[in-house]
Amino acid sequence: MRHVHGRARRAGAALAAVLTWAGLLAGAAGCTSDGGGIGDGIGEVFGKPPAAEDVIRITPDDGSKAVRPKDEQLSVRVSDGRLESVKVVKSQDARQTPVSGRISDDGLSWRPADDRLALAAKYTVDAVALDGQGRRSARHTTFTTYVPDERFIGYVAPENRSVVGTGMIVSLEFSREITDRAAVERAVSVTAKPATEIRPHWFGKDRLDFRPREYWKPGTEVTVHLGLRDVEGAPGVYGLQHKKISFTVGRSQVSRVDAAERTMQVRRDGTLLTTVPITAGAPATPTYNGKMVITEMLDVTRMNSRTVGFGGEYDIPDVPHAIRLTSSGTFLHGNYWAPQDTFGRANVSHGCVGLRDVKGGGSDTPAGWFFDRSLIGDVVEVVHSKDRKVAPDNGLGGWNMNWKEWRAGSAVK
């Protein structure tokens, strides 16, 4: 009887255990008055898995709007465990672009390669991580960045893919005044092949020029990178451009105008090509001295004295072979209205340099010959005039500054 009773007790204990688990499962499987279910029941026994947002912390917060790049940076991190993957996509200007970045060596964080967020963009972040107990979590978040009301751009000279003379200076004129010149300067780079030292110089708050120490070597390939997009150039005013401009330096041509001798010597790669007679500024209106760079070439143009600060002394509607040397209105141009014996004998202009020409412009005249052999970026230097030296910011007059003065004009010290 003892044996039977022992077996009965064991069978009863087993039945009680089955009933206990059945009761637990029945209670867990059905709804209870407090809304508990199987997850709560198991969670009490094994520990509740943490929420994904507690495992993976993403900045800026999900759903954030008008995020200002200077206030927040994009980051993904976990407190323990490790990140398995992070994928970030930037949507801007109707284009989607992957955002490159890397997970840290300890696996706890991810940062983008470029810390600066773009403006007027939507970011989508997908991250997968394992917590400290090996449980996998995933997060999907989005946020948008601030859309500025005001923008600025830089107008660049020379033109993209142009061939220029060895005196060309890279010049950017901005559409708005720049107050944070250092930030804008850092966002622009000018490089050359073969490599040479190139330095920037600010003229006021809206112009930034770049040049090497000496004239470019013929054949140099120059590239201008504008990384101005989203750079804050002034309070609340952000750059718009992200582009590349390139140009090639052609042959060297430097012409020397001697106002006292009334001649111009034209040298190509250091060799004298020819000497032509000229007429420079009259004693009352002399021509600037100094190095000037050709910035514009017009087959024909109108010249009116009132547009350059004079009275009604002249208004010539069809000046041929007009080559601009300064922004203030100094040209080297064809002259058909002066007697032919004026050239090489008398200075009679209002500050320009005149070469003999015919009405309509002739190809076989001194003016036509010089025009056909000139490039934007060629240098014309005037000496022995009774006027002062041309200002460095009048046209591309930066070659009239020595290297120390030029370098002092950088906003990045």
333 labelled catalytic: yes
Out of 201, 321, 333, 350, pick the active-site residue.
333
- CB-facing half-sphere around the CA of 42: CA atoms within 13 A: 6
Euclidean distance between the first and the last CA atom of the chain, given in angstroms as a whole number: 103
Residue whose pair of structure tokens reads 């906003």 in the numeric block? 411
DSSP three-state, residue 287: coil
CA 270 to chain centre: 35
350 labelled catalytic: no
CB 230 within 8 A of CB 264: no
DSSP three-state, residue 362: coil
Q: How far apart are CA 228 and CA 245, in angstroms?
A: 13
Residue whose pair of structure tokens reads 């013929």 in the numeric block? 218
Q: What sign does the dihedral 262-349-334-325 (CA atoms) show?
A: positive
CB 333 within 8 A of CB 352: yes
Out of 201, 321, 350, 352, pick the active-site residue.
352
Which strands sit side by side in the sheet containing 109-112, from one edge to the other? Answer: 56-59, 75-78, 109-112, 101-103
CA dihedral 210, 212, 217, 223 (to 10 degrees): -40
Active site amino acids: 333, 352
